[in-house]
Structures are given as C-alpha cells and as structure tokens.
Structure 1
C-alpha cells in the first residue's frame, strides 16, 4: 500500500460487485463498462468464493482499474487487498478491527466500515476510517442478512451522527440520487442497479449525471 489513496478519493458513485448477478456479462466486462460510464470506486465483494478465486478476481479487476486511477477496495479480506496492492478494504462489524487493518495496510489505504446501528456510527468517530456505508436505505435482496431497512429518514438520522463521508446503500437507483444526496449522502453505493443492468455503461452514466446535476 505505497500510494496514498485516501487523500481526495471520490465515493460519489461506488460499485459493489455481485458476481452471480453479472454472470451473463462477466465481472471484468461489467466493471470495465461501469467505469466507462462514470463509476468512481469499486468494491469487490465475494461472499462465497474460495481464497484462490477471490484472489484471481481481485487481480483481474486491479489490472483494469489501477491504470485508470480508480480505487479497488476488497470486501472483508485484508489479505487479498495486500496480495493485489488494492487501494483498501471495506469492513463489516464482524471483520478485522479497523485499527488492525490500518496497521497492516498502512496510512495511505482507504478503509470503509459498515455501520448497522446508530451506536456503531457514533463509535466510528474514534476510529481511523475513511468513510461509512450506511443502509440498507431501501429493501434489498443482495444481502439477505442485512440490518433493518432505514428509509430516507433513518439514513438522515444516522448520517448526522458521523463526521465521516457516508455512502448510501440498499437498492439505490438514479431516481433516488437527489433525495439521498439532499439527506447528506456523500455518495451512492450500488449493486443491482449496475450488476443487473443490461447496459451498465449507460446505467452508470445516468447515476453519475444524477449526482452531478444535484451538485450543480
């Protein structure tokens, strides 16, 4: 982790991958098309892959993203992030503690945290994390064991508890962009809106345009 990725990273349109959902197109093509449409960060999430499969996918995506300066974050697995020199990791509440991940990854890595409760959001204020994933804002099938749905009002409340940048996740689509950004979201984290899209480049473009039109 020699590069300082955490300075001025852009989480405005954050793709979280689902290999099963994009199997018809293939993960590498999906990511290539989504980035061409305006995705600014990519998280490789592989809940069921073996370590070797996860590593191979991470290497493939790093080869696509690194030349373009788009950060690749690895879900849960600090070892995979280190192995491919990824930009950082995204950690859940049951994953490696943030301070240990920081020690391993170094000061320039991006570390994101999922917060499932208001108390967890407050607790992250004392952690060396770079952003929070807040959701699910809407009902989602991409994470069956998700915490209770927040809705926009719940997102607004939880977002106000943290000084960190916060990305909204959970069935987020282009039509939600203005509402969520107005509620304090610093970015939109999307799964099915891109992974299940017939034209991920156009879908990403529409999401990015929605973000940019809000920021004006």
Structure 2
C-alpha cells in the first residue's frame, strides 16, 4: 500500500484562482504545507487536462507530494499520476483498482454513513467525507455531515478519512479533533491572496 499524508489535501479549481495559473497556486500551496494535490477539471478537453496533469506532476515531483486525478482514470494512467479519486457515480472501484494496480492511491467519496460502511468492503486507500459543511464548490452532494458525522464515520469505517466541504482556518482544528485524518480545501487556498501563507496557517492550526 502506498504511503501518503492526508493532513492537508488541496483540491484544485482553476475558476477560483483569481486569474493566476493553477500551477502557480498549487506550488505556493505546497510550499506552505500542502501534502496531497487532487487535480479536478470538469470543463476542459482531455488534451488540456492531460497536459495540465503532466505539468503539475513535474512541478510536484521535487516536493514528493502525490498528484491525484479526480475521476478520470484515463488521465491518471496517461500521466502516471500517484492515484485517482472517485465518487459514488464514477468508475466502479473494482475496475479502477484493476486498471491502476495496488501501487497507486485510490480515494472514494462517501456522502452518507451507509456509503462509509459499504466502503469497508473495498480496499480503498482513503475515503473522502463529503461535505462536512455546506459549500458553494460542492452543490451535487447530500446533507452535510457536520462534526458529529465525522465522528460517526470514523467509528464505523476502517479507512483513513479526509474531510472536505466548507473547511477553513477557523474550523479546521475542530474537524481534525472530530477524528478526520486530514482536511481537504478548495477555495481556502485557491482563492487566497497568498496561497503559501494560507496553507501554512492551516498546517499550523492542525499542529496545535
């Protein structure tokens, strides 16, 4: 099983980057303490997605930060990414594992306690608890878990869990204390005027 650190997980969204290149924001976030990066692209062509993934992989390599591709197994395979993150309506886990093998990271989003329980039957590398709080960046999910929901998931689930949705510097510590193995953020870093500083603040919050 691959070794990785879920503690500060950045999920990209170029629409929130305040006109800056996605690569610039990601690298600054990594310099501030981001430990994993998920490249999420819903609106670009396959070629543009592939080229961006290749650039990010090269930029992240010196920092030893894993690059995870959202949903697109073809892109993950083509750029030899460190793994893929799938949702409940994406490619079935068994197919993803067969295609990627066991030396790659596979994460799975869970949106209910029942889905978290069912994930125990799969040898995924981690689950994403989504969403913890309501957020404008994820409008296609069910009711938020809240802090109590994180605790409930961790009581029934055997996997590492990263929490996502409405997390920022003011509530990150509470999410961590509720049992999450890591926090995933989008706008808190992507839209920060100083992504490096924003990541550093989140990282220091978790350490405290």
TM-score of the aligned structures, taking structure 1 as reference length: 0.93
Say whether residues 1:145 and 2:114 are aligned partners.
no
Kept in 1, the 8 Å contact 2:131–2:163? The answer is yes
Which position in structure 2 is the counterpart of 1:126?
Answer: 121
Structure-2 separation of matches of 1:133 and 1:194: 18
- In the TM superposition, 1:57-96 aligns within 5 A as 57-96=52-91
Say whether residues 1:11 and 2:6 are aligned partners.
yes
Which position in structure 2 is the counterpart of 1:182?
Answer: 177
- In the TM superposition, 1:153-164 aligns within 5 A as 153-164=148-159
Q: How many residues align?
A: 208
* 1:27-71 CA-partner distances (Å, limit 9, x unpaired): 000001000000000000011111111111111111111222110
Aligned-residue CA RMSD (Å): 1.1
Structure-1 separation of matches of 2:3 and 2:68: 15
- Equivalent of 2:168, from 173, 177, 202? 173
Say whether residues 1:25 and 2:16 are aligned partners.
no
Structure-1 separation of matches of 2:58 and 2:117: 36
Structure-2 separation of matches of 1:124 and 1:139: 23
SS at 2:114 equivalent: helix
Structure-1 separation of matches of 2:63 and 2:92: 30
SS at 1:33 equivalent: helix
Q: Quote the offset at 1:140 in angstroms.
A: 0.3
Which position in structure 1 is the counterpart of 2:29?
Answer: 34
Of residues 135-144 and 33-42 in structure 1, the stretch that sits farther from structure 2 once superposed is 135-144
Structure-1 separation of matches of 2:102 and 2:92: 15
Unpaired runs of 5+ in structure 2? none
- Equivalent of 2:186, from 184, 191, 202? 191
Runs of 4+ in 1 over 3 A off after TM superposition: none
Q: Quote the offset at 1:145 in angstroms.
A: 1.2
Structure-2 separation of matches of 1:171 and 1:60: 28
* 1:47-104 CA-partner distances (Å, limit 9, x unpaired): 1111111111111111111222110000000110011110000000011111111111
Unpaired runs of 5+ in structure 1? 1-5
Q: Quote the offset at 1:7 in angstroms.
A: 2.9
Q: Quote the offset at 1:195 in angstroms.
A: 0.6
Say whether residues 1:43 and 2:33 are aligned partners.
no
TM-score of the aligned structures, taking structure 2 as reference length: 0.97
Q: Quote the offset at 1:23 in angstroms.
A: 4.7
